[in-house]
Amino acid sequence: MLPRLHRGLLLLLASSLIAHMGNAQSGAQQCEDPKAGKLSVTGSATVTEMPDNAKVFLSVSVTKPTAAEAREEAAATADAVMAAVGGVEGINGASDISTSDISLQPNYIWVQETGQNRITGYVFTQQISVKISNLTSDTLGAVVDTAVKAGANNLQACRGSGTLLCCMYVSWPGARAGHSWQLQVSSIQIELSPALRRQAMDQARVLAVEDAANTAQILADAAKVTLGPVKSLADSNIAPPTPYPMPAAGKESAAFNGDARTATPVVIGTAEVIATVSVEYAVMNA
């Protein structure tokens, strides 16, 4: 059992501690204005940048009576296209060009007499993706033109005649049943690189906070209250960017002989980065 003196000292210390805590709570309550309220606002801002990245998606498709023939001619055309595009200034054939998909599908027709499907040939398709960094209109146009020219030259060297598609339809007369060739620019995606998007987003965030502060001040002045410090700040910009496709510039019919032609005009345009923030301010009666 503790001596009476020790017990007395402990009781004295406990009483002092309780009193100190009470004083601290009372001081905190005195510091906070009981009349203070809150004002919640949102701010937004948009920063416009010129996209610096692009992806061009090409498709080589060959239809032949046998799967081996279709694969052979599709491979030759794809090799020609990738080699030519790899030579475009600004394109690294080893890292910027890749095969995204390969498929082989039979072609069927319905035979009324037998009541069954009959295979008439095979379609071999190879999808090619070309990545463009440090994007310019000239580079993008050169990739499209070079792919079309290389594919057309190789397809013309093949036996028979076929069809070339690239946002336009180009045909050679005399196509035979069961034989067709296609080179298609499937789509073009324009986007900001991750570094450029982060830079633009940081700028937009700063401007969004300034927009929120301006809105809060306008509301406080209108309500005849004094704007206090920021109580909370929330950043809502967590969604990843979505590349936007470049629409095809219309469809035209023409004969393509592989000779020099007018370069494909490409207008890259701009991309917008939007930031939104939520801010809560303390407000006090004036």
pLDDT value of residue 258: 47
The pLDDT score that the predictor gives to residue 141 is 92
Alpha-carbon span 257 to 155, nearest angstrom: 11
Pick 28 or 59 by higher pLDDT: 59
Of the pLDDT bands very low, low, confident and very high (cuts 50, 70, 90), residue 106 is: very high
| Chain position carrying tokens 């081996």 | 68
- Comparison of pLDDT for 179 and 10, the residue scoring more: 179
Residue 203 forms part of a structural domain: no
What is the mean pLDDT of the segment spanning 47-76?
92
pLDDT tens digits along 118-172: 999 999 999 999 999 999 999 999 999 999 888 766 554 444 333 333 333 333 3
- Decide: pTM greater than 0.75: no
The model's confidence at residue 241, banded by pLDDT at 50, 70 and 90, is low
Q: Is residue 156 part of a domain?
A: yes
- Cα angle value 125/73/132 (rounded, 5°): 55
| Residue 209, domain member (yes or no) | no
Largest separation between any pair of C-alpha atoms in the chain: 117
pLDDT given for residue 257 in this prediction? 46
> Can you tell me the distance from the alpha carbon of 193 to that of 131, in angstroms, rounded to the nearest whole number?
11
Residue 153: per-residue pLDDT? 61
Task: Say how far apart CA 210 and CA 259 lie, in whole Å.
Answer: 56
What is the layout of strands, in order, in the sheet containing 163-165? 163-165, 169-171, 253-254
Question: Is residue 175's pLDDT more than 80?
Answer: no
Cα–Cα distance, 269 to 22 (Å, whole number): 65
Judged against a pLDDT cut of 60, whether residue 47 lies above it is answered with yes
Q: Which domain, by its residues, includes 110?
A: 53-191+245-258
Supply the pLDDT for residue 18. 44
Mean per-residue pLDDT for 65-82? 92
Tell me what pLDDT residue 231 has.
94
What is the Cα–Cα distance from 245 to 266, expressed in whole angstroms?
13
What are the pLDDT digits (tens) for 262-277? 788 888 889 999 999 9
Q: Is residue 172 part of a domain?
A: yes
Q: What pLDDT shows up at residue 48?
A: 94
Do the domain assignments include residue 270? no
pLDDT at site 32: 52
Spatial separation of the C-alpha atoms in residues 211 and 217, rounded to whole Å: 10
Mean pLDDT, rounded, of the chain: 78
* Torsion sign, CA atoms 202, 204, 210, 212: negative
Dihedral angle sign, alpha carbons of residues 32, 38, 217, 215: positive
Two structure tokens written together for 114: 């037998």
Whether 215 maps to a domain, the answer reads: no
Is the confidence at residue 220, as pLDDT, over 70? yes
Proportion of the chain above pLDDT 70, given as a percent: 68
If we measure between CA atoms, which residue out of 190, 188, 189, 196 comes closest to residue 273?
Answer: 196
Is the pLDDT reported for residue 199 higher than 60? yes
| Average of per-residue pLDDT across 103-128 | 92
pLDDT for the residue 214: 97
The number of folded domains in the chain is 1
Asked whether residue 196 is assigned to any structural domain, the reply reads: no
106 lies in a domain?
Answer: yes
What was the pLDDT predicted at 16?
52
The pLDDT of residue 87 is above 90: yes
Q: How far is Cα 264 from Cα 142, in angstroms, rounded to an integer?
A: 8
Q: Rounded to 5 degrees, what are φ and ψ at 148?
A: -65, -45
- Residue labelled with tokens 């929120």: 212
* pLDDT for the residue 90: 92
Task: State residue 174's pLDDT score.
Answer: 35
| Mean local confidence (pLDDT), 173-182 | 52
